[in-house]
Amino acid sequence: MAAGVGKTFRMLAEGRGERDAGRDVVIGYLEPHGRAETEAQAAGLEQIPPRTVRHRDVAVRELDLPAVLVRAPAVCLIDELAHTNAPGLEHGKRYEDVADVLAAGIDVFSTVNVQHLESLNDQVAELTGVRVRETFPDRVLAGADEVVLVDLTPAALIERLRAGKVYAAERVPAALNGFFRVENLEALREIALRQVAEDVEARRQRELPSRRLDRAVGERLLALVSPHPEAQRIVRRAWRSAQRLGAELDVLIVLGPSPSAAEREQVGAFRRLGALLGAHVLVEQGEDVVAVAARVARERRSTYVLMGAPAPRRGLRRLGEPLTDRLLRALPGVDVRIVADRSGCER
């Protein structure tokens, strides 16, 4: 939530719990701020010494990433996820160091204040009048297996501040008149509570699709699209139909063996659109679009297939069976709907 609520203390407590359960836990980086409670909590846990880097003639303590990777514990505690590293280290930001540690198969416990979250940066600045410079992308938080909110009422936090448990005595008056005003802390607390509630809801939503599929009843639509901008109208039309029917929508993109950069770009755009619509975007590779679409429709128990008008057949292709006929034959009992292109119609 904010500095002084006890994030580092809680991280260390979690680390001690893991160690007591028999896991190999080390402190990768600790920002004790001279707080006696924090130092006491860290006592007894192995700590990888920070490396000292000179930046603008000042000695700066930083996480020793190579040493952490060499030590390779089961769990590493790394404080202050949003921290910006001194120039010349492996990465510019600590969350990038953490990504390397995770990639090495090491679990990481870390800490962060809500105002450092990139998407909330503007809002926090508007609410508190203080622009936080160090931010980290939302995807880092979204990728966490678990998010724990360390909550404290504004009154209790100010009490801790006054008691000298957050900053040294000489910094307390400035803090109380600046960032640590009750209204700021209340706003930050509300944002933090909402953010964690969102995280819980997002995880719940991610678990739902597979369960929904298991009990698939009623209508289920499959939009068959090519990775081109014009195909967006098929998704739009299919989504509207799905809304009316109260049905789930799957969007299937069938790519050839070597998709172009433009096609890959469109797939990314369709994935983002699918997330906003609550649709499931499926990307398959295959030479035969009909065969892939038929397989996916059976797997997803689709009741409708929506597609654009097939391109005019030229040359020898005119001799073959039209794509729509093949699809109808491959999917008996499934409605196939051709979505018209109305963009050229008169307004």
Site residues, other proteins (CB under 8 A): 118-123, 138, 142, 191, 194-195, 198-199, 201-202, 205, 228-229, 232-233, 236, 239-240, 243, 262, 265, 268-269, 272-273, 275-278, 342-345, 347
Nearer to other proteins, 92 or 278 (CB): 278
Question: Between residues 279 and 297, which has the closer beta carbon with respect to other proteins?
Answer: 279
State the Cα–Cα distance between residues 322 and 314, nearest whole angstrom. Answer: 11
Q: Are 31 and 79 in contact (CB under 8 A)?
A: yes
Residue with tokens 């001690």: 16
| 55: nearest Cα among 88, 78, 104, 7 | 88
Cβ distance to other proteins smaller for residue 236 or 295? 236
CB of 60 to other proteins, least distance (A): 28
CB of 315 to other proteins, least distance (A): 16
Q: How far is the CB of 236 from other proteins (least distance, A)?
A: 5
Q: Which amino acid is at 114?
A: V
Shortest spacing between CB 150 and other proteins, in angstroms: 20
Residue 342 CB partners (closer than 8 Å, separation 6+): 233
| Contact assessment for residue 274 and residue 283, using Cβ atoms and an 8 Å cutoff | no
Nearer to other proteins, 52 or 205 (CB): 205
Residues 219, 234: Cα–Cα separation, whole Å? 18
Q: In angstroms, what is the minimal distance from the CB of 123 to other proteins?
A: 6
Provide the terminal-to-terminal Cα distance of the chain, rounded to the nearest Å: 53
CB nearer other proteins, residue 18 or residue 118: 118
The rounded distance, in Å, linking the Cα atoms of 71 and 333 is: 60
SS3 59: strand
Closest CA to 235 of 282, 284, 286, 290: 282
**CB nearer to other proteins: pick between 87 and 278:** 278
What is the nearest approach in angstroms of other proteins to the Cβ of residue 6? 24
